[in-house]
Structure 1
């Protein structure tokens, strides 16, 4: 059920979450499937609905830095500096988990609806993207409904602004480590941290400290083919479609912006549109191999895996 995020909608969503159910809600990145992060049955329902592998961890959304620090064993200087600069916002910090071994991934979202929901529940909310595992993340309430029709309530906050997931940084070591490129550009993080370790390869099935590290992820139903020249691709399964950007004139193509942030904001929506058209193959022109495009290239590479 899709409902408006007015006072009544927030109240209904909060009641469901406090009762141990799940609710889909918008953040500034993508829509999340939220549940009480410390209710084992509620978290299990997230995994069941998404058909999510048990080795893929969840990000916990909290209202503010004070709430985040309460869930951390230690709060290093790096976490303090990054949180001060980028929270609320599309940055997830991985820190040591309070009261036990392992780590926890924490984020303070900026979206007004997410913040109202956190305030109304008083809970920390585990909230991965509100879609079936490995498929395209949702940037509208309608995307959520099509992917997860069993979700009892979806708060409709309109299209999300950033369009791709948060950037995830591990601050448990002396040198901060980028685990997942995302909406917050790496250059912005470097202005705070200086040096930062770039992500490595993690095998599926292995324990990991952050979501979004699977080889195949963010994928449409159609096969994705990445290429530097869309006109040179042959032998694909028809019907096929092209996804490119403004410097290329391809009749009938999905044309996205040459600005990496604007491209990212519409990427998942474009993949949803092409899936809705029933195409079998999506031919995607590779974005530039520059740091500004790192997050977009990461998503496309995993979608094509």
Structure 2
């Protein structure tokens, strides 16, 4: 695959993308969170191509992207009032809702659905008329892509990548299970808990890790995920780390000033937006170990801490 497989998301690019999707293959496209690897969610052949290209384990489910709430309801056996309230407040946007799967659809008892807030993603969904299963467009366990170039380097066999520029949120959607009486957080993400509580009231937090190999209703729950090639080491103060036993060269990722290869913003939204891109840059620079300054232990930083802890696993 060459860079010629990156296409502008104009009328011709969308035409090519729809043609590929309807032929039961895959297309990478931008969302506001990360780039997704999309395929017809109703085609076993197309979904199988996602798992093959990503080398993704079969027990790790996919999120289905749709164009609007009407399309989302069509995939659900039950569409609870909580889902209506959250969709009205946050869709299109970086929130995935897990609901009871419609009986005419194959798969496990639930389905994870969202409406992305990116014009290219929405144009593709509308032009294709398909619900698109779309995990992040990268090899399983590796760093999620926030640019078209990241996709090409990780998945060189993808037939087409629609280039919508860098992703604005830079971190995956928040996943919320609304099948019970109280919404339950399955994966922290771009949308914070404070905003969710304001809309839905109490949110139940995960009480245990899901072991790899076990069925789960959401992606992003694997022990190791979002990881660069370099070894990630979390530390409260990078200056206190004894580096003689670490594989070199050693790079530093921090959110405060100092001698660091990458210094990210000190607010959680800004940090998350550039986190994956920074890890890609550190990998590209050839660092064997990345020391990461631990982010604050506050709720606003929950998604960032989740990604870093899994990258370091």
TM-score normalised by L of structure 1: 0.98
Q: Kindly report the root-mean-square deviation, in angstroms, between the aligned alpha carbons of the 2 structures.
A: 0.8
Deviation, 1:114, is 0.1
Matches within 5 A, 1:131-170: 131-170=138-177
From 240, 265, 274, the counterpart of 2:282: 274
| 2:258 is the counterpart of 1:249 | yes
Shift of 1:248: 3.1
Whole-angstrom distance in 1 between the partners of 2:115 and 2:95:
8
**SS of the residue aligned with 1:14?**
helix
Aligned to 2:56, the other structure's residue is in SS state coil
Which of 11, 16, 19 in structure 1 is aligned with 2:15? 11
Q: Please, which of 202, 205, 219 is the counterpart of residue 211 of structure 1?
A: 219
Unpaired runs of 5+ residues, structure 1, are none
Q: Secondary structure at the match of 1:241?
A: strand
Describe the SS at the equivalent of 2:89.
helix
SS at match of 1:273: helix
Secondary structure of the residue aligned to 1:5 is coil
Pairing 1:288–2:296 present: yes
Q: Give the 5 Å matches for 1:123-138.
A: 123-138=130-145
Q: Hey, what does 1:299 align to over in structure 2?
A: 307
Are 2:246 and 1:236 equivalent residues in the alignment? Answer: yes
Aligned pair partner of 1:47 in 51, 72, 76 = 51
Residues in 2 aligned to 1:237 and 1:231: alpha-carbon distance in whole angstroms: 17
> How far apart are the structure 2 equivalents of 1:230 and 1:220?
19
Quick one: which of 97, 108, 114 aligns to 2:121? Answer: 114
| Aligned residue among 95, 100, 103 for 1:96 | 100
Larger mean Cα displacement after TM superposition, 270-279 or 95-104: 95-104
2:194 match: 187
Give the whole-Å Cα distance in 1 for the aligned partners of 2:111 and 2:178. 11
Structure 2: distance between partners of 1:104 and 1:152: 27
2:98 and 2:281 map into 1 onto residues whose CA distance is 33
- What is the CA–CA distance in structure 1 between the aligned matches of 2:121 and 2:200, rounded to whole Å? 27
Moved more, 94-103 or 264-273: 94-103
Distance in 1, Cα, partners of 2:141 & 2:66: 25
SS at match of 1:164: coil
Separation in 2 of the partners of 1:295 and 1:39?
32
Q: Secondary structure of the equivalent of 1:264?
A: helix
Q: Point out where structure 2 has 5 or more consecutive residues left out of the alignment.
A: none
Among 22, 33, 37, the residue aligned to 2:37: 33
Aligned mate of 2:272, from 256, 264, 271: 264
Q: Distance in 1 between matches of 2:247 and 2:274?
A: 25
For residues 175 and 189 of structure 1, the distance between their equivalents in structure 2, rounded to whole angstroms, comes to 12
Tell me, in whole angstroms, the C-alpha distance in 2 between the residues paired with 1:195 and 1:248. 37
Figure out how many residues of one structure are paired with residues of the other and give that number.
303
